[in-house]
C-alpha cells in the first residue's frame, strides 16, 4: 500500500516556540492512527502542522508524495485533508445544514450520507449553530469535514466533554466510517482505551517527540505499558 502522509524530520511550533521535535512517520492509505499522550505533549500541534496552522521550522510534510510544507491551509484542505478541530468551531449564525454545506465539495459524501451517519442532525437541520448540544456540534464538525470529501481525516479529541451515550454513538459512527469508506483517519484522544479499540496503529507523544509507534492492539493488550507510556515524564 502507498503512503498518504509522510512527515520527515519535522520541527514545528508557534512562532519562535518549538513544540514538536524530530517527528518522523508515514501513514499508509486507508490506515487508522490513534495519537496519544498527556495534555500539552503536542498532539494538537501535530494535527495543526499537517493542515498547516503552525510554523514549520524544519523538515517536510508530504501528502501522497507531494510536498505540502509551504502550501496554504485551504490548498491542503482542497487536496483532501479534512480537519475537525478540538474547539469544533461551528458557525453560530448558520443553520446546521448550512454549516454542513458551507464548504462542500463534490464527491462521495453529501448531505444524505452525513444524515445517514448522524440521523440526529437531520432532525436538527434548521437549528442554528449555537442552538445545538455539544454532541450535536461535534457531529456537525465531523459532518462538515466529511462534506469536503477528504481522503485523510484529522480529528482532535472528538469525544472530549461529551456524555457517555453520545460517546458511544460517535464511536459507532467512527467505526462505520473506518469500515465502510476509504478514509485514512488520525484520531487524537485522551482516553486511550476507547480509541485503541477502533484504530490499527497508535503513536504516543511525550514532550513533542514520538516515544511509541506500533500496533494499537499491542498497546491494548499491555495495559501496564500503555500507562507507563502515556504517563511518561
> Which residues bind to other proteins, rule: CB under 8 A?
51, 53, 72-78, 83, 85, 89, 91-95, 97-98, 101-103, 105, 125-126, 128, 144-145, 148
Q: Is 126 exposed, middle or buried (0-12, 13-18, 19+ CB in 10 A)?
A: exposed
Q: How far is the CB of 64 from other proteins (least distance, A)?
A: 16
Query: At 140, is the secondary structure helix, strand, or coil?
Result: helix
C-alpha cell at 21: 521535535
Torsion, CA 55, CA 88, CA 154, CA 203, rounded to 10: 80
CB distance 32 to 198 below 8 Å = yes
Q: How far is the CB of 76 from other proteins (least distance, A)?
A: 8
Closer residue to other proteins in complex, CB, 112/224: 112
Q: How far is the CB of 128 from other proteins (least distance, A)?
A: 8
Closer residue to other proteins in complex, CB, 73/172: 73
Q: How far is the CB of 109 from other proteins (least distance, A)?
A: 13
Q: How far is the CB of 126 from other proteins (least distance, A)?
A: 7
Angle (CA) 28-32-37 rounded to 5° is 115
Closer residue to other proteins in complex, CB, 21/151: 151
Closer residue to other proteins in complex, CB, 17/130: 130
Closer residue to other proteins in complex, CB, 3/104: 104
Which positions ≥6 away from 105 have C-beta within 8 Å? 78, 147, 148, 149
Closer residue to other proteins in complex, CB, 141/167: 141
Q: Is 160 exposed, middle or buried (0-12, 13-18, 19+ CB in 10 A)?
A: middle
C-alpha cell at 182: 476509504
Q: How far is the CB of 130 from other proteins (least distance, A)?
A: 10
Amino acid at each position: 500500500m502507498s503512503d498518504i502522509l509522510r512527515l520527515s524530520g519535522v520541527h514545528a511550533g508557534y512562532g519562535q516556540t518549538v513544540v514538536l521535535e524530530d517527528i518522523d512517520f508515514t501513514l499508509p492509505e486507508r490506515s487508522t492512527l490513534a495519537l496519544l499522550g498527556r495534555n500539552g505533549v503536542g498532539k494538537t500541534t501535530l494535527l495543526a502542522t499537517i493542515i498547516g496552522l503552525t510554523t514549520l521550522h524544519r523538515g517536510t510534510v508530504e501528502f501522497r508524495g507531494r510536498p505540502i510544507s509551504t502550501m496554504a491551509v485551504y490548498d491542503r484542505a482542497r487536496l483532501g485533508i479534512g480537519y475537525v478541530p478540538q474547539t469544533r468551531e461551528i458557525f453560530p449564525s448558520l443553520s446546521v445544514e448550512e454549516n454542513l454545506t458551507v464548504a462542500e465539495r463534490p464527491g462521495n459524501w453529501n448531505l444524505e450520507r452525513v444524515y445517514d451517519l448522524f440521523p440526529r442532525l437531520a432532525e436538527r437541520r434548521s437549528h442554528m449553530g449555537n442552538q445545538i448540544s455539544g454532541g450535536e456540534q461535534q457531529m456537525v464538525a465531523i459532518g462538515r469535514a466529511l462534506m469536503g470529501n477528504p481522503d485523510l481525516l484529522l480529528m482532535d479529541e472528538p469525544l472530549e466533554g461529551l456524555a457517555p451515550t453520545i460517546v458511544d454513538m460517535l464511536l459507532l459512527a467512527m467505526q462505520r466510517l473506518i469500515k465502510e469508506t476509504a478514509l485514512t483517519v488520525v484520531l487524537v484522544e485522551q482516553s486511550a482505551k476507547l480509541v485503541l479499540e477502533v484504530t490499527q496503529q497508535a503513536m504516543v507523544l511525550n514532550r513533542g517527540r514520538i516515544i511509541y509507534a506500533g500496533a494499537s492492539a499491542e498497546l491494548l493488550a499491555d495495559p501496564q505499558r500503555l500507562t507507563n507510556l502515556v504517563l511518561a515524564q
